[in-house]
A and B are shown apart, each in its own frame.
Chain A
Amino acid sequence: MFELSLLICGLAVILCLWRVALGPTAYDRILAVNAVGSLVIIGITLHGFFMGRPEFIDIAILYALINFIGTIAILKLFSENKNKKN
């Protein structure tokens, strides 16, 4: 069960990286990196259960917080650029 979930997570990460590399607009890239972050959170949790050490879930929580800050910073940059043009 955990093996299958990890496998699906891995495939999803590859698809997201594809979108980061090729994504025509910047917003595609932001969304894709955000999705990679979410998949990493799921992956760490699954890895913990898979290896029989589910104590590491708190790292997954930290990742969730950090992921949020990075995205906010990027979007703030975009909104500032937009204001400059107007």
Chain B
Amino acid sequence: MAEFLINGFLIFLLAIIAVVAIRSIKIFSTVMLAGAYSLICAIIFVSLDAVDVAFTEAAVGAGLSTVLYIAAMRHLPKREKVVNDNTIFAFIVCFGVGCLLIWASFDLPVIGDPMAPIHQHVGPYYISNTKPDMGIPNLVTGVLASYRGYDTLGETVVIFTAGLGVLLLLGDGKNRDKNE
């Protein structure tokens, strides 16, 4: 009951922040609200026992994203351009997709159900073999760094290449004054 109340309160807060962030015209205010949104999101992940996801959300969502948004904001005007288009059609599409998603969520297994299909595929193998194979107690680390080690290596190479490409395209800012 207490857990339900806490989660409900946090999700209520998220909804309020999202609405206020969409309605606000000042870009700085929206960036700040996005940071607060990430922080609240991370508590929800902690509350759902997904501590590693909460770590990532705190580091990337609240920390790094805010810094990147702020860096991008330097090149933007201070206020959004207000557009008064007719948004009824978009509202109907969003409302319909939302209803479909809520309807689909009734078929999901209960949170933490050990008999859910996702926990029956390779999960039991990892749970029984991580400790003998690697000698470490953390299953997530065992899966990421050893069972799917090549996968993680590939992901790292992809992200490194993407970062290198962006750096080569944008430069480090030293030659900016010559062009301007």
Is A70 in the interface zone, CB < 8 Å from B?
yes
| Contact call B24/A21, Cβ cutoff below 8 A | yes
| Contact call B6/A29, Cβ cutoff below 8 A | no
Secondary structure type dominating chain A contacts: helix
Name the 7 nearest CB pairs between A and B, nearest first: A66-B63, A73-B67, A70-B66, A21-B20, A40-B39, A29-B32, A33-B32
Report the number of A-B residue pairs with Cβ-Cβ less than 8 Å. Answer: 92
Is B153 in the interface zone, CB < 8 Å from A?
no
Q: Please, which residue of chain A has its CB at the minimum distance from the CB of B52?
A: A59
Report which residue of B35, B42, B62 has the largest number of chain A beta carbons within 10 angstroms of its beta carbon. Answer: B35
Shortest distance between the CB of A27 and any CB in chain B (Å): 11
Shortest distance between the CB of B160 and any CB in chain A (Å): 22
Chain B residues contacting A29 (CB-CB under 8 Å) are 28-29, 32
| Contact call B9/A10, Cβ cutoff below 8 A | yes
Known contacts A70-B35, A70-B62; A17/B16 CB under 8 A: yes
Chain A residues contacting B71 (CB-CB under 8 Å) are 73, 77
Instruction: Enumerate chain A interface residues (CB-CB to B < 8 A).
Output: 3, 6, 10, 13-14, 16-17, 20-21, 23, 26, 29-30, 32-33, 36-37, 40, 43-44, 47-48, 50-51, 56, 59, 62-63, 66-67, 69-70, 73-74, 77, 80-81
**Assembly CA distance A20 to B66 (angstroms):** 15
| Contact call B66/A74, Cβ cutoff below 8 A | yes
| Contact call B59/A36, Cβ cutoff below 8 A | no
| Contact call A67/B2, Cβ cutoff below 8 A | no
Q: Supply 19 A–B pairs (Cβ within 8 Å), ascending by A.
A: A10-B13, A14-B13, A17-B20, A17-B36, A20-B32, A30-B32, A36-B39, A44-B46, A47-B47, A48-B46, A50-B2, A59-B58, A62-B58, A63-B62, A66-B59, A73-B66, A73-B71, A77-B70, A77-B74
**Assembly CA distance A67 to B36 (angstroms):** 10
